[in-house]
C-alpha cells in the first residue's frame, strides 16, 4: 500500500515535470538594510549631514531558485525569519528583488493574507467589495458574487452587521470566502489556516482539494508539517535565507524537525553545545503497562505512553502531545493537551518532568512508533521539541480484522418478526 502511494506520487511528479512552469524564481537575492541610526526627519538630516549611514544587512533570501510546474501544490517551510514570507511577497510583487528574476505564468493572486482592507466600521457588503477589488475583481463582478461569498461564509444573517461586531472567526470566514472567488491560476497562501475553528478549517481543506483538482498552482507557506504532507506535492525548506532542501513533503518534514531542534544548522554536528541550549529536551520515551516498561502488549491493554522532558528555560503552559504511527506511516492516534489542559503550569529551567498519556490500545496488531512533542502555548504549531518515531512497541492481537483500529464493539442481529396474522 505504501509502495502504491509512493509510485503514485512519483507519477504525479513526473506529470508535473512535463507540465509547463507556472512560477520560476531564478537566483533571487533580497537584503534588508537595518540602519544603525534611523534618520526619520529633515531636521536630523540637516543637523547631522555627515553622520555616517552605516547599516546591518539582513539577507532574507540568498540565491533562491525554484521552478513550480503548473498544477503543483508547493510547500514552503522554514522557521521564523527564514525568508518564507519574503519570498512570497517578492513573488506577489509587494517587495522587489535585489537580484534575480521571477516569472509567473497566468493570473497571479496578489494577496498573501485574508481580509486585506477590511474596515471594522463597514458592513459585510462594503468590506467584500473593497477586499475583492483589492484582489483584482471589478466592482460589478464583486457585487454579483456577493451572495455566493456570504453563503460560503455562512454569514447570511449577519450581512447588515458592521464588521467590528463580528467575531474574529466570522471575519476570517468572510475573508476566505472572498479569496475563493478570485480567479487566479497561481495562488500564494501564507499561514491562512492558523486561525479558525475545526469546521472552518475542514472547509478550507475542501477548497484546497478542489483547487488542487482544478489544476491550480499553489504556493503554500506553513509551519504545520501535517498540512505539508497532506496537500503538497513537493516542498522546500528554507533556513536563514538559504534553500536547504527541496523534495518530497515527508522528507522535508523530517528535515524541518531536525533543523528546528538544532541538529542540523548549517551542517554543524549535533553536539553538546547545541543540545545544551535547547529550551526543552525530550529525554526518553517508552510504552508502559501497569507501570512497567514494555516493548510489546496485547490488544486492548491499558497503555501509557511515557516521556521525560527536561526544561532548559522557563516555559509557561506548554502544550504536550503524542502521536502514534503504524508501519504504513499512517497516524492512528494523535492528541495534545491544547484543549484538555490549556494550563499545564509553569516549568523552570533544570526541571525534569514526566508526561503520561493513558489510552486503551484498541489498534490492529503491528508495530507502533511514538512521536512525543512539546510546543509553546498556543495552537501547538510553535514546536519546542519533537522526536519523530522516538520509540516503538508491538501490539499483538489474536485476530486480524484488516481494519486500522479494532475498538470494542458489538453485533446485534435482529430477525424481523413475521406476524402470523
Partner 1 sequence: MTLESRAVTGGVVVGDFRRFLGLTWTLAVTDWKLRFYGSVLGYVWQLARPFAFFGVIYVVFTQIVDLGDQIKNYGVYILFALVLFNFFAEVTNGCVRSLVARENLLRKISFPRLAIPMSVTLTGLFNLGGTLLAVFIFAVGSGVYPDPGWLELVPLVVLLALFSSGVGMLLSVLFVRYRDIEPIWEVLTQILFYASPVLYVSTLVDECCQRPYTSNPLAAIMTEMRHAIVDSSAPDVVTALGGTVRLLIPLGIILGAFALGLWAFNREAPRIAEHL
Binding positions for partner 1, rule: CB under 8 A? 24, 32, 40-43, 45, 89, 91-96, 102-106, 110-113, 116-117, 119, 121-122, 126, 129-130, 133-136, 138-139
Helices (H), 195-348: 198-213, 225-231, 249-260, 272-276, 337-340
In whole angstroms, how close is the CB of 45 to partner 1 at the nearest point?
Answer: 7
> Of the two residues 110 and 279, which places its CB atom closer to partner 1 in the complex?
110
Q: What is the Cα–Cα distance from 161 to 159, expressed in whole angstroms?
A: 6
C-alpha distances (whole Å) from 34 to each of 37, 59, 62, 218, 239 are 9, 11, 17, 32, 20
Cell output for 80:
521564523
* Nearest distance in Å: CB 140, partner 1: 9
Nearer to partner 1 (CB atom), residue 149 or residue 386: 149
Angle of helix 146-153 relative to helix 124-134, nearest 10 degrees, comes to 110
Q: Which is nearer to partner 1, 146 or 368 (CB)?
A: 146
Question: What is the length of the chain?
Answer: 421
Q: What distance in Å separates the CA atoms of residue 11 and residue 134, rounded to the nearest whole number?
A: 38
Mode of pairing for the β-strands spanning 292-294 and 391-396: unpaired
Residue whose C-alpha is closest to residue 91's, from 188, 185, 184: 188
Q: Which residues contact 416 (CB under 8 A, 6 or more apart)?
A: none
Least Å distance, CB 58 to partner 1, is: 12
Q: Which three cell numbers stand for residue 24?
A: 520560476
Task: Decide the pairing of beta strands 73-78 and 234-239.
Answer: parallel
Instruction: State the residue for C-alpha cell 478570485.
Output: 182
Q: Which residue's CB is nearer to partner 1, number 106 or number 349?
A: 106
Q: How far is the CB of 305 from partner 1 (least distance, A)?
A: 42
CB of 138 to partner 1, least distance (A): 6
Name which of 110 and 300 has its Cβ closer to partner 1. 110
- Pair 261, 281: CB distance under 8 Å: no
Supply the Cα-derived Rg of the chain in whole angstroms.
Answer: 26
Burial of 299 (0-12, 13-18, 19+ CB in 10 A): middle
Report residue 32 as a C-alpha cell.
534588508
Q: Which helix (H) or strand (E) holds 3?
A: helix 2-18
Cβ distance to partner 1 smaller for residue 93 or 342: 93
Q: How far is the CB of 39 from partner 1 (least distance, A)?
A: 8
Kindly state the smallest distance separating residue 65's Cβ from partner 1, in Å.
Answer: 15
> Whose Cβ is closer to partner 1: residue 41's or residue 168's?
41
CB of 103 to partner 1, least distance (A): 4
Considering the complex, state which of residue 75 and residue 175 has its C-beta at the smaller distance from partner 1: 175
By beta-carbon proximity to partner 1, the closer residue of 138 and 302 is: 138
What grid cell was written down for 107? 493570473
Least distance in angstroms from the C-beta of 196 to partner 1: 18
Burial profile 182-191: b = 16 or more Cβ within 10 angstroms, e = fewer:
bebbbbbbbb
Amino acid at each position: 500500500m505504501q509502495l502504491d502511494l509512493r509510485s503514485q506520487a512519483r507519477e504525479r511528479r513526473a506529470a508535473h515535470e512535463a507540465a509547463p512552469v507556472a512560477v520560476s524564481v531564478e537566483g533571487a537575492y533580497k537584503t534588508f538594510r537595518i540602519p544603525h541610526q534611523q534618520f526619520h526627519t529633515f531636521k536630523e538630516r540637516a543637523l547631522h549631514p555627515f553622520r555616517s549611514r552605516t547599516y546591518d544587512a539582513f539577507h532574507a533570501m540568498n540565491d533562491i531558485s525554484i521552478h513550480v510546474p503548473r498544477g503543483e501544490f508547493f510547500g514552503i517551510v522554514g522557521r521564523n525569519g527564514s525568508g518564507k514570507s519574503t519570498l512570497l511577497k517578492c513573488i506577489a510583487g509587494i517587495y522587489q528583488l535585489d537580484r534575480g528574476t521571477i516569472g509567473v505564468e497566468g493570473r497571479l493572486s496578489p494577496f498573501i493574507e485574508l481580509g486585506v482592507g477590511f474596515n471594522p466600521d463597514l458592513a459585510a457588503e462594503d468590506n467584500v467589495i473593497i477586499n475583492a477589488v483589492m484582489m483584482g475583481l471589478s466592482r460589478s463582478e464583486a457585487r454579483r458574487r456577493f451572495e455566493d461569498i456570504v453563503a460560503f461564509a455562512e454569514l447570511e444573517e449577519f450581512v447588515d452587521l458592521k464588521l467590528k461586531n463580528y467575531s474574529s472567526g466570522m471575519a476570517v470566514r468572510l475573508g476566505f470566502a472572498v479569496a475563493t472567488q478570485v480567479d487566479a491560476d497561481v495562488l500564494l497562501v501564507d499561514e491562512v489556516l492558523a486561525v479558525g475553528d475545526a469546521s472552518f478549517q475542514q472547509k478550507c481543506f475542501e477548497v484546497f482539494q478542489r483547487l488542487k483538482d482544478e489544476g491550480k498552482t499553489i504556493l503554500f507557506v506553513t509551519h504545520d508539517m501535517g498540512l505539508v504532507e497532506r496537500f503538497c506535492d513537493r516542498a522546500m525548506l528554507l533556513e536563514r535565507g538559504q534553500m536547504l532542501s527541496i523534495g518530497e513533503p515527508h522528507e522535508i518534514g523530517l528535515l524541518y524537525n531536525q533543523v528546528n531542534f538544532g541538529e542540523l544548522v548549517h551542517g554543524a554536528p549535533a553536539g553538546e553545545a547545541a543540545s545544551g541550549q535547547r529550551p526543552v529536551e525530550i529525554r526518553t520515551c517508552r510504552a508502559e503497562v501497569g507501570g512497567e516498561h514494555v516493548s510489546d502488549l496485547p490488544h486492548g491493554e491499558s497503555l501509557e505512553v511515557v516521556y521525560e522532558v527536561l526544561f532548559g528555560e522557563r516555559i509557561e503552559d506548554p502544550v504536550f502531545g503524542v502521536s502514534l504511527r503504524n508501519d504504513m506511516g499512517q497516524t492512528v492516534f494523535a492528541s495534545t493537551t491544547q484543549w484538555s489542559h490549556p494550563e499545564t503550569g509553569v516549568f523552570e529551567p533544570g526541571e525534569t518532568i514526566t508526561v503520561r498519556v493513558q489510552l486503551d490500545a484498541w489498534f490492529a496488531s503491528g508495530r507502533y512508533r511514538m512521536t512525543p512533542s512539546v510546543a509553546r502555548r498556543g495552537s501547538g504549531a510553535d514546536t519546542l521539541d519533537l522526536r519523530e518515531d522516538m520509540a516503538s512497541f508491538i501490539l499483538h492481537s489474536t485476530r486480524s480484522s484488516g481494519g486500522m483500529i479494532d475498538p470494542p464493539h458489538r453485533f446485534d442481529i435482529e430477525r424481523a418478526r413475521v406476524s402470523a396474522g
